[in-house]
Structure 1
Amino acid sequence: MNLVFYLLAIGIGIITGGMTSLIGASGVMIIVPILTMFFKVGVHAAIGTSLFVDVIASLTVSYSYYKNGNIDLKSGVWIALTSVIGAQLGASFANKMEEGKLSSSFGIFLVIGGLSMFYNSFKGKNDSLDTVRGFIHFKREWQKILAVLITGLGIGILSGLFGAGGGVMVLLALIILMSFPLHKAIGTSTLIMAITAFSSTVGYAARGNISLILGSFLAGGAVLGGILGSRYANKVNERTLQSAVGICFMAMGIVMTVIAIIK
């Protein structure tokens, strides 16, 4: 692998870190398709490497939110707890799946994620969340905790299966289930994403499915992208960004699914 290869990896990392800081999303949706389609990395190793990068990028971004007082891990600890358990289950399931099936499953997951982002970009964000809140009522505190525990478990399983740290899903859980203010929800969800991704990373590393050299270059770029993105996050038109990223995700997911079917 030559210098251009590693410079490209750094560039991809910068984009990944920037996306995490701007919309709180996992970098898996960028890294896995690119590593599998253009770098010829196996899908298991691509997911494991993306999780490793997710940990670094998420910690970088969450630190910037922490400096502004926008992290409350104490309230989100229940999600973090069960997401770690779910991540190990997901990583175990993924290791037993064939490359083709895992690749096509990830492609479908990517398309769904892209559709969701694209759809939400055309809706009033606060209105849609208020509508959802209207259908969720907890008469007892234990009911609220149980709902959060189940949510965390599901997020963790998805993280282990597809390499997604679950940032967007955690964000919605904190806003809808725990009534977090938006900025504090973003900061807390990003830190929880780092914890969940770390748990999944351990599972993939134990099975030898992480490229540490390539991951280090990607992570280096992600740190730079995360710092720059956090600095300018509030200046970006959120709806325009969501639409563009959603379209890209859908395109990459369709390509991955088609390639998996052809193989």
Structure 2
Amino acid sequence: MNLIFYLLAIATGVVTGGITSLIGASGVMIIVPILTMLFKLNVHTAIGTSLFVDVIASLTVAYSYYKNGNIELKSGIWIALTSIIGAQLGALFASKMGEGNLSTSFGVVLIIAGLSMLRKSYKEKKDPSDSVSGFIQFKAEWQKILAALIIGLGIGVLSGIFGAGGGVMILLALIILMSFPLHKAIGTSTLIMAITALSSTVGYAARGNIDILLGIILSVGAVLGGVLGSRYANKVNEKTLQRVVGICFMSMGVIMTIIEIIK
């Protein structure tokens, strides 16, 4: 390993931590393509290593939001519980998939995530009564808990398969179904994302699919990016950031898919 290798790894970590802190999205979607394309890791090890970094970055960001009173686990804890189970199921399923299929699938996920971010960035803000949360009403507390458990299971499975802590999906669930304010939704989803990613990380580690040294180097940058990003989160133009990240996701998704097709 030379100096350029270390600097590139730390820079990747900084970007990952920054994205996690600013938009509540899992930085895994950034790390996996970079690890496979630039660091030449196989996709299973890339996902496992990225999950390791995701845990560190998410905990760092969650702590920053916690200090500002923007974490609420009264409802979100139920999502975290089943997401742990789902993450193990997803990691098991991923180990049975061929590397080419997994890379192609991840590329498609990146493209969809990018399109979703771009669409959201251009969507005009509507009155709260027009949102889904305006007509989805839970008559009893157990119905809300059951919905959260089902959501958590689905998020966990996707996390285990694709290495994503599910931050965007958790965020949407908290906003739409749980009616969380945006800042509290980001803080809470980041903590849940850390728990989910930790469960997936254990699954990948048990199969020897984590590069610990590289993960530690990436985590150094992720902590730095997470701290700086959280500090200035409220000053960032959210729509502009969503457009930039959306384009990045789509570009990397297309590249990964094309590479697998022409192999």
Are the counterparts in 2 of residues 133 and 176 from structure 1 also a CA contact under 8 Å? yes
Partner of 1:45: 45
Distance 1:251 1:219 in 2: 24
Tell me by how many angstroms 1:135 deviates.
3.5
Tell me by how many angstroms 1:75 deviates.
2.4
Could you say if the C-alpha distance between residues 71 and 142 of structure 1 is closer, same or farther in structure 2, counting changes exceeding 3 Å? same
The residue identity in structure 2 corresponding to 1:204 is Y
Distance 2:227 2:128 in 1: 30
Distance 1:130 1:221 in 2: 40
The residue identity in structure 2 corresponding to 1:104 is T
Partner of 2:117: 117
1:89-143 deviation digits (Å, cap 9, x = unpaired) = 0000000000000000000011000100010001134548842213412222222
Are the counterparts in 2 of residues 129 and 176 from structure 1 also a CA contact under 8 Å? no
Partner of 1:88: 88
Are the counterparts in 2 of residues 107 and 254 from structure 1 also a CA contact under 8 Å? yes
The residue identity in structure 2 corresponding to 1:11 is A
Partner of 2:256: 256
Could you say if the C-alpha distance between residues 144 and 156 of structure 1 is closer, same or farther in structure 2, counting changes exceeding 3 Å? same
Could you say if the C-alpha distance between residues 129 and 170 of structure 1 is closer, same or farther in structure 2, counting changes exceeding 3 Å? farther
Partner of 1:209: 209
Root-mean-square deviation (CA, aligned residues, Å) is 1.2
Distance 1:128 1:118 in 2: 21
Partner of 2:62: 62
Distance 2:124 2:200 in 1: 34
- Aligned residues with identical type, % of pairs: 78
Counterpart mapping for 1:215-226 below 5 A: 215-226=215-226
Partner of 2:157: 157
Distance 1:204 1:131 in 2: 38
Could you say if the C-alpha distance between residues 9 and 39 of structure 1 is closer, same or farther in structure 2, counting changes exceeding 3 Å? same
Partner of 2:235: 235
SS of the aligned residue for 1:40 comes to coil
Partner of 1:25: 25
Could you say if the C-alpha distance between residues 126 and 203 of structure 1 is closer, same or farther in structure 2, counting changes exceeding 3 Å? farther
Could you say if the C-alpha distance between residues 157 and 127 of structure 1 is closer, same or farther in structure 2, counting changes exceeding 3 Å? farther
Distance 1:34 1:140 in 2: 45
SS of the aligned residue for 1:121 comes to helix
Distance 2:213 2:236 in 1: 33
Structure 1 regions of 5+ residues with no counterpart?
none
1:173-215 deviation digits (Å, cap 9, x = unpaired) = 1111112122111111100000000000000000000000001
TM-score of the superposed pair, with normalisation by structure 2:
0.97
Structure 2 regions of 5+ residues with no counterpart?
none
Partner of 1:174: 174
Larger mean Cα displacement after TM superposition, 205-214 or 175-184? 175-184
Q: How many residues align?
A: 263
